[in-house]
Structure 1
Amino acid sequence: MSEQTAHDRTPVLLQIATGGVARIRLNRPEASNGMDVPFLQALHATIMACHGDPSVRAVLITGEGKHFCAGGDVRTFASKGEALPDYLREATAWLQIAVSALLELQAPVISAVHGFAAGGGGFGLVCASDFVIAAESAKFMSGAVRVGMAPDAGVSVTLTQLVGLRKALEILLTNPTLSAAEALDIGLLTRVVPDEALESEALDFARQLVTMAPKAVAAVKHLVWGGVGAGVPERLAEEARTVAELSGTQDSLEGLAAVLERRAPRFVGK
């Protein structure tokens, strides 16, 4: 969203304003904010910093560069070769605890999405946020099956609750690229705004939430997510096992290669 300064090379940045709005900025624009292990470690650290600061009354997540988050860092994954399953076990472990910490925040979480929100990273953060404000040109895609993987970040639970079982299966298995209007229509988003107004609208929304009674907000979040996300911790572990298992298959390596080479994958079922 905003311009990146030369010294801002930390993969995830945190700024807590005096008004109580904490801004988490995904900061790997050169990789479309793709998630690797250092990125996920930094994301978890910033979320935990919000947990530990009583002045935080709302959390706003944004992405630097052209995209909110393109999911996992495909280039890093492809470079691991036969070591990919071990790398993904570590990556998904960090993703699990980051998402769990996000869901358990007492302060409401708003994601402001521009460009693409894809994969377990971008799409997963959208599904785990309390509110999602998207630019009109934003796009949304699961993408896991496209590279021979399974969804993670709790998406197998949260997406189903957000859009319903039939629509969730369609999204996860056929990988459509959803426009912001389509995502709003199925209940994935809170609102859609003009591209040029995204940052101001998201900040205004966060500042509105800051005026609410914090204990009441935390209690409502606990009640709502307690019903929706009761199975998320167990599903996170199952998702991680499934992703690691699939990442060692021939089809998974072919899927990653196809993305990098910008061609259709040739899956063989091995």
Structure 2
Amino acid sequence: MKLIESGQVLLTLEDGVGHLVLNRPEASNGMDVPFLRALHDAIMVAHGRADLAVLVITGEGRNFCAGGDVKTFASKGEDLPDYLREATTWLGSCASALLNLQAPVIAAVHGFAAGGGGFGLVCASDIVIAAESAKFMSGATRVAMAPDAGSTVTLAQIVGVRKALEIFLTNPTLSATDALEIGLITRVVPDESLHDAAFALAKELAAGAHRAQGATKRLVWTGLGGRVEAQLPEESRTVSELSGTADAREGLAAVIERRAPRFTGR
């Protein structure tokens, strides 16, 4: 059943298994405000389906999601803080909606899962299956900004405070094997098996006790004491504030120009 059949985010539902597709391959599924609005709309449709037992998220094209759309960000000039305040608010709402979705969420990751968009969605998913060639990176401080999508809470809970700080501050590119070793992801499979593995698990969950699964998911995430939702406004404010600095402008320019940034602390 096609629930959303065109646009930047697609959604289908069959035998209790929902499939949400990030569908902006020409930009590596990079997130701008229209994309985030479409993503939020799709997740809200999923929330409204009593027949949804599990949701699988995949990305179209070469990457799962390369993070924010840096070219759009760079084009905003002095308006960037206001734009990012809106973008991060939408992204936070998307992450919160996934965490609060009763159905388990499986992220099937290929290519890059980077930035608040890709890395943040990974942290907001319940189970993460990655292709052997998948790569993971936070990347926010690399462009003089701060992490978002609730990851300043979720990542620390998933991998521990020390490892989370190392990832956020040094921005390593983690291989699928690296990510598995630190507990960031659930399983690694051969590239050609990613789709089948994700949907085999989804069908297994869909055949299970939905109410028990939903209640268990809720207990685990609410065990964080509501800190994810409480942190979202502060993440948004911080990203917006930092985006107005000279270092942030330099960081975005360096990514677009494929060179090392030259930060001045301003």
Pick the TM interval, shorter chain: over 0.9
Measure, in 2, the Cα distance between the counterparts of 1:240 and 1:109: 24
Measure, in 2, the Cα distance between the counterparts of 1:67 and 1:40: 17
2:98 to 99, 102, 106: 102
Deviations 1:16-51 (A, max 9, x none): 11x100100000000000000010001001111011
Which residue does the alignment assign to 1:176? 172
Offset, 1:228: 2.7
Measure, in 2, the Cα distance between the counterparts of 1:57 and 1:107: 5
Q: Which moved more, 1:237-246 or 1:88-97?
A: 88-97
Which residue does the alignment assign to 2:12? 15
Which residue does the alignment assign to 2:118? 122
Q: Which amino acid aligns with 1:14?
A: L
Q: Is it true that 1:112 corresponds to 2:133 in the alignment?
A: no
Deviations 1:88-130 (A, max 9, x none): 1111111111111110000000000000000000000000000
Aligned partners of 1:25 and 1:63 also within 8 Å: yes
Deviations 1:65-110 (A, max 9, x none): 0000000000000000110001111111111111111100000000
Which residue does the alignment assign to 2:203? 207
Offset, 1:230: 2.1
Question: Pairwise mapping of residues 79-94 of structure 1 onto structure 2 (< 5 A)?
Answer: 79-94=75-90
Measure, in 1, the Cα distance between the counterparts of 2:195 and 2:214: 24
Unaligned runs of 5+ in 1: 1-7
- What secondary structure sits across from 2:223 in the alignment? helix
Measure, in 2, the Cα distance between the counterparts of 1:65 and 1:95: 21
Measure, in 1, the Cα distance between the counterparts of 2:153 and 2:223: 11
Which residue does the alignment assign to 1:195? 191
Q: For this pair of structures, how many residues does the alignment match?
A: 262
TM-score, normalised to structure 2's length? 0.97
- What secondary structure sits across from 1:228 in the alignment? coil
TM-score, normalised to structure 1's length? 0.96
Measure, in 1, the Cα distance between the counterparts of 2:251 and 2:110: 25
Measure, in 2, the Cα distance between the counterparts of 1:186 and 1:228: 20
- What secondary structure sits across from 1:152 in the alignment? coil
Which residue does the alignment assign to 2:20? 24
Q: Which moved more, 1:221-230 or 1:199-208?
A: 221-230
Which residue does the alignment assign to 2:60? 64
CA RMSD for the aligned pairs? 0.8
- What secondary structure sits across from 2:235 in the alignment? helix
Measure, in 2, the Cα distance between the counterparts of 1:188 and 1:208: 22
Q: Which amino acid aligns with 1:220?
A: T
Offset, 1:214: 1.0
Offset, 1:262: 0.3
2:133 to 120, 134, 137: 137
Which residue does the alignment assign to 1:250? 246
Offset, 1:229: 5.7
- What secondary structure sits across from 1:259 in the alignment? helix
- What secondary structure sits across from 1:240 in the alignment? helix
- What secondary structure sits across from 1:124 in the alignment? helix
Measure, in 2, the Cα distance between the counterparts of 1:221 and 1:64: 27
Q: Is it true that 1:157 corresponds to 2:173 in the alignment?
A: no
1:34 to 30, 37, 45: 30
Aligned partners of 1:47 and 1:101 also within 8 Å: yes
- Deviation beyond 3 Å, 4+ runs, structure 1: none
Identity of aligned residues (%): 68
